[in-house]
Amino acid sequence: MDDDVYENYIFAGKVAAKAREYGTSLLKHGVSFLEIADKVESKIIESGAGLAFPVNISINEIAAHFSPKHDDKSLFLKKGDVVKLDIGTHFNGYIADTAVTVEIESHKYDNMIKASSEALENVISLIKPRINISEVGKSVENTIKSYGFKPISNLTGHSMQRYILHAGMTIPNIEDKSYKTKPKIGDVLAIEPFATNGAGHVITGEGSNIYLCKKTFNPRIIRDNRAKIIFNKTKNIFKTLPFAQRWFEKQFSNSDILLRKLSFLGLLKHYPQLIDANQGIVTQKEHTIIITEQGCEVIT
Contact criterion met (CB below 8 Å) for 70 and 246:
yes
Find all residues with CB under 8 Å of 214, minimum gap 6, and list them. Answer: 266, 267, 268, 269
DSSP string of 209-254, one letter each residue = EEEEE-S---TTT---HHHHHHHHHHHHHHTTS-EEHHHHHHH-SS
Straight-line distance from the first to the last Cα atom of the chain, in angstroms, rounded to the nearest whole number: 18
Partnered with residue 103 across adjacent β-strands are 82
Q: Which helix (H) or strand (E) holds 38?
A: helix 33-46
Q: Which of 90, 158, 201, 270 is catalytic?
A: 158
Query: Is 166 designated active site?
Result: yes
Q: Which of 81, 103, 118, 192 is catalytic?
A: 192
Q: Which of 70, 166, 175, 256 is catalytic?
A: 166
Q: Which of 41, 61, 81, 86 is catalytic?
A: 86
Partnered with residue 85 across adjacent β-strands are 57, 100
Helix 110-126 and helix 133-146, axial crossing angle in degrees, nearest 10? 150
130, 144, 181, 88: which is closest to 283 by C-alpha? 144
Would you tell me how many other CB atoms lie within 10 Å of the CB of residue 92?
A: 15
Distance CA 198, CA 266 (A): 33
Q: Which of 97, 103, 187, 276 is catalytic?
A: 97
Query: Is 86 designated active site?
Result: yes
Query: Is 71 designated active site?
Result: no
Residue 39 to residues 30, 90, 193, 251, Cα–Cα distance (Å): 15, 17, 26, 19
Query: Is 276 designated active site?
Result: no
Residues serving a catalytic function are: 86, 97, 158, 166, 192, 286
